[in-house]
Amino acid sequence: MKKTLLNVALLAALSLPAWAQNIAVVNGKPVPTSRVEALKQQVERSGRPVTPEMMGQIKEELIAREVFMQEARKRGLDASEDYKNQLELARQSILIRELFTDFQKKNPVTDAEVKAEYDKFVAANGGKILLAPDVRCKHLKHWTLASMVITDIVHRATPWTRLIMNSRELPATLNLDWRGRLSGICSVLLAACLAVAVFAPVALWAALACGLVVVALNSGFYSLCARKRGVGFAVASFALHWLYFVYSSLTFGVVTLHELWVRSRRSVASGGSMLQPTAAIMLAAKAADLPHFRQ
């Protein structure tokens, strides 16, 4: 009995390195852990975080792929001419992508080069950056409420407001059209009315009116949400949309005031050499009995 247990333990110990290198064995063919890391990196490059739950999904995906691959080979599909042509095209695409990635690593673009290209682009377009409202896209980033708010404020509202201040022109496209501007104003008023309603409940009527205006201005968007995911989702979308209008509008106002304050300070500083000494400086100089200020 002891000899049998010893043999089992020895067999298990010898098998550990193999299991450490593979996540599974499908019909005698191992699925190496290196594939898990490769697919994990591919997911991370798409902008999605790899959670422990997703790691389990990745392993299941790789095992399923191995099952399907074995079935395809059993049917002789890997010997078809179409398969070979597609495989060659995929091989070329991957190799070209690796070439570009390697070039970018060895030849990084500096901030000065980016600014130079930006200046050339702006000059070629008459000093303006033109937006294309007809272009639509989506990304696969994993958002949380906190990351969305931080990104909107720090990386969107703030730099866009500074660009608008520098260009001295307020565009009327995308979320800066009259609907977006009025929605922002009404959303801020709605937040203010809700705060006032704590002390004066009659302000709830004004809050309701502001909310109805926001709904009317964005009815197409909320209708789309209701058709796709139901009324509950549309209501949640309104709440999130209202929050977006509030912090975006407040950021626009704060950054605008800050830019105006900075410019006023700069104008005062640039004209300081042209100003006469102030009365305080004159009195201090007299107190020190400086010859230049003696009368």
- Determine the pLDDT at residue 174: 67
pLDDT in tens, 139-189: 666 778 888 899 889 988 898 888 888 877 777 776 788 899 999 999 999
5 token code pair: 């247990």
Identify the CA nearest to 97 among candidates 42, 146, 52: 42
- Determine the pLDDT at residue 207: 93
Contact in structure between 133 and 173 (CB atoms under 8 Å): yes
Q: Is the pLDDT of residue 212 over 60?
A: yes
* CA–CA dist 63, 68 (Å, integer): 9
Q: Is the pLDDT of residue 227 over 50?
A: yes
Angle at 174 between CA 170 and CA 177, to 5 degrees: 55
Q: Where are the beta strands (DSSP E) in the chain?
A: 22-26, 29-32
254 token code pair: 């704060």
49 token code pair: 């975080």
pLDDT in tens, 83-121: 899 999 999 998 998 898 889 888 888 878 888 888 888
Buried b (16+ CB within 10 A) or exposed e, 247-261: bbbbbbeebeeeeee
Share of the chain above pLDDT 70, in %: 80
Residues 211-215 have a mean pLDDT of 94
Mean pLDDT of the chain: 80
Provide DSSP, 40-82. HHHHHHTT----HHHHHHHHHHHHHHHHHHHHHHHTTGGGSHH
Radius of gyration over alpha carbons of the chain, in Å?
Answer: 32
Residues 5-14 have a mean pLDDT of 40
DSSP reduced 3-state for 113: helix
- Determine the pLDDT at residue 185: 94
- Determine the pLDDT at residue 211: 94
Note if the pTM is more than 0.75. Answer: no
pLDDT in tens, 38-72: 888 888 877 778 888 888 888 888 888 889 988 98
* CA–CA dist 156, 251 (Å, integer): 10
Q: Is the pLDDT of residue 10 over 70?
A: no
DSSP 152: I
* CA–CA dist 190, 251 (Å, integer): 17
The Cβ of residue 62 has, within 10 Å, a number of other Cβ atoms equal to 20
pLDDT band at 222 (very low <50, low <70, confident <90, very high): very high
Read off the amino acid at residue 196. Answer: V
The Cβ of residue 211 has, within 10 Å, a number of other Cβ atoms equal to 18
